Structure 1
Amino acid sequence: MAKRVESPSSLNTFKQCKRKYYYQYVEKLPTLPNIHQVRGNIAHSCLEDFYDLDISTVNEDGFEMHFKKEMQKMLLMQWMKYKPRLQVLKLNKDQERFYFEETMLMLMNWTGHFLNDVQNEMEKGKSLQEAFKALTPIREMRYQSDNYSVQGFIDAIHHLEDEVHIVDYKTNAKFDFKDSIRLQLAIYSLLYFEKHGVLPSKVGIFFLRQKLKMISVDEELLKLAQREIELVHAHTSITENIFDYPRTITPLCRWSTGECDFYKTCKPHNQKN
């Protein structure tokens, strides 16, 4: 049986609950849309497009307000673009307003940090335009390894002097490197290393509710990725029998405001497998 091309998301799903992995990646049952997913897509689109701004005529006096206004306009535009997907969620007006305003606060928080970085670059003698260019990352890059049968989409790759920093954006995650995030960053590091032959200096998450958090990349991080990838392939490449993908029953099956996408199919609280 051929190896499935995995991703940080699929590997973490396997670790969380093998039955959920089976439904999503073996049976390929549809997942349900939710506001956190849609809002995340909107925020990512704004952050990606922000660097395409034409700032050739922007004056260094008052550039901060210009960037803030541009980000606000981007969110309005992206929110309208995603309106059909938002309508599917059947949010009431108060709920939609809440998520819009919350997303705006996140993007304004990110913009504030970006403005500080611009100011720091300008203090080194760069013009506004030079500082903006220096801080512009390579965005939304897809990496795939045939050797490891794994792929990943990297939000931002920053080349800062002689260092490479890989950054992922998170809208909902707490300011903490839990195991799932550490594995995601390890896989990104492995993919980058395999393609370019050099280790990225640091990888991290920009938690949009807080700030950027980075860790250094070393051999141990690469070994973590290799080990977890092989563990999943060792299982998924030899069986597609549902009974070889047991359920892990936790509060993530169903909680006060929602449930797993496959709750009704899985029926985790039924004693039968």
Structure 2
Amino acid sequence: MNDFTNCPQLYKYRAVDLLPEPPSIDAERGKLIHSVLEDLFELPAGSRTFESALELLPTKWREQLEGKPELAALVLDDKEWFDRAQALLTNYFSLERPSTFESTYRELHLERDISEEIYLHGYVDRLDVAPTGEVRIVDYKTGKSPKPGWEEKALFQLRVYALLYWQNEGVLPKLLQLIYLGDSRVVKSEPTEAQLKSTEKILRNIGDEILTALETNHFPTKKSRLCDWCFFKAICPAHN
């Protein structure tokens, strides 16, 4: 849905044509940090330290390389690679103390049919349920936080997760939290029923637009600054 909103043609390349893309060094770094933080919460509370996170780094990176050997060619300097990963973990520990709370779920799969034709699903980085029942949905971002005025767009993903959890469990999440490790910033929001109902309406509208595009085979291009990072720019009709 995010791809289609940014550019329907990008959605077609990825979801319809299934064109391959080379791995992204930034995305793979993000996967590495996510896997370290996921495993960190499997440890006893007292062991969830910065040192433990650093010990997990080489192991998780080896596992990542075993799954995608081509990643080795992307990392030209091992020291620089691990130094950057260590800096992101340093920023994480400046924002949270994982030894002081229990995380209920990591990589929680949420799914639901929001209409007869639209199936929605996603994976939540972390979902914490307090002893008193309040729910917090957390997403890690290894990049920098959005500029003022762009927070709402960033929070939309978490509102989708909140909507799915609310509809499935009957519990309205208390807090949505985006943790930006690139610049040590946290963006928070307390969702309301009205916001989540509005989110569902937006999702249905986007879903209907996708269905129409599939039926008519019409996927217009949408030029923006994001084009500079798009792998498909060389074949995109907007640039040729």
TM-score (norm 2): 0.85
Residue equivalent to 1:75: 57
> One-letter code of the match for 2:59?
M
Identity among equivalent positions (%) equals 26
Give the equivalent residue in structure 2 for 1:13. Answer: 3
1:192–1:103 distance in 2 versus 1, CA, 3 Å: same
Judged with a 3 Å threshold, the aligned counterparts in structure 2 of structure 1 residues 213 and 251 are, in CA distance, closer, same or farther, namely closer
Number of equivalenced pairs: 232
Q: 1:175 to 1:75 in 2, by over 3 A?
A: farther
Contact 1:34 1:89 in 2 (8 A): no
Gaps of 5+ in 2: none
Which residue number in structure 1 is paired with residue 21 of structure 2? 31
Spell out, residue by residue over 1:106-156, the C-alpha distance to the aligned partner (whole angstroms, 9 max, x if none).
1122134333x64xxxxxxxxxxxx4xx43331110011113521111111
2:155 corresponds in structure 1 to 182
Contact 1:170-1:205 within 8 A present in 2 as well: yes
Superposition RMSD on alpha carbons, in Å? Answer: 2.4
Instruction: Check the 8 A contact 2:213/2:219 in 1, yes or no.
Output: no
When residues 112 and 253 of structure 1 are mapped into structure 2, their CA distance, relative to the original with a 3 A threshold, is: closer
The residue identity in structure 2 corresponding to 1:269 is: H
Task: Report the equivalent of 2:143.
Answer: 172
Q: What SS class does the counterpart of residue 135 from structure 1 fall into?
A: coil
Contact 1:51 1:136 in 2 (8 A): yes
**Range that drifts further, 26-35 or 177-186:** 177-186
Deviation at 1:228, TM superposition (A): 1.9
Equivalent in the alignment of 1:93: 76
Q: Could you tell me how far 1:54 is from its partner in structure 2?
A: 4.1
Letter in 1 for 2:225: P
CA gap of 1:140–1:203, structure 2 versus 1, over 3 A, is same
Question: Unaligned 5+ residue runs, structure 1?
Answer: 1-10, 119-130
**TM-score, structure 1 normalization:** 0.76
**Distance change in 2, residues 1:12/1:83 (3 Å):** same
| 1:267 CA drift (Å) | 4.2
Partner of 1:247: 221
Contact 1:12 1:180 in 2 (8 A): no
1:136 and 1:182, CA in 2 relative to 1: closer, same or farther beyond 3 A?
closer
Q: Alpha carbons of 1:104 and 1:160: their partners in 2 closer, same or farther (altered >3 Å)? A: same
Q: 1:40 to 1:86 in 2, by over 3 A?
A: farther
2-side partners of 1:179 and 1:15: how far apart?
15
Q: Which has the higher contact order (CA 8 A, sep 6+)?
A: 1
